């Protein structure tokens, strides 16, 4: 899948349709971690309830048209933290040769506490 933001939609719609439960496990196989935490500030992320809402949140921009992305959009590298923030996934196993360090929950919680829903 070129535009990973649509995998966010697939997981969220599956949750709405009761095909997966909250707190699921993801095995992410990719050359990059795709763990950019600004997925937690995607416009409409926590308000989305319906399939239509999820599709709207998942929509990004078309790189092939040379569009400049707006801020606070779902992108190919921030969908994992969006799923974690919504409680759809709880754990991720990364299979990757990426040499960068993963973002860890305590650090992300500290930096993005203002935009996370109360548990």
Q: Quickly tell me which residue has 């919504």 as its tokens.
A: 86
Range of weakest confidence among 10-14, 45-49, 102-106, 112-116: 112-116
Does residue 117 surpass a pLDDT of 80?
no
CA–CA separation, 5 and 60 (whole Å): 7
What pLDDT score does 90 carry? Answer: 93
Output phi, psi for 83, to 5 deg.
Answer: -65, -40
Taking the model in full, what pTM does it have? 0.85
Helices 51-58, 5-16: crossing angle, 10 deg rounding: 170
């Amino acid at each position: 899948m070129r535009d990973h933001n649509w995998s966010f939609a697939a997981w969220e719609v599956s949750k709405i349709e009761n095909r997966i439960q909250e707190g699921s496990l993801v095995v992410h196989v990719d050359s990059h971690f795709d763990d950019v935490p600004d997925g937690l500030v995607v416009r409409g992320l926590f308000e989305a309830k319906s399939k239509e809402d999820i599709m709207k949140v998942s929509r990004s921009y078309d790189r092939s048209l040379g569009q400049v992305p707006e801020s606070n959009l779902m992108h190919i590298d921030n969908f994992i933290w969006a799923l974690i923030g919504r409680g759809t996934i709880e754990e991720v196993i990364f299979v990757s040769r990426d040499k960068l360090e993963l973002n860890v929950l305590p650090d992300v919680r500290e930096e993005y506490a203002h935009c996370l829903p109360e548990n």
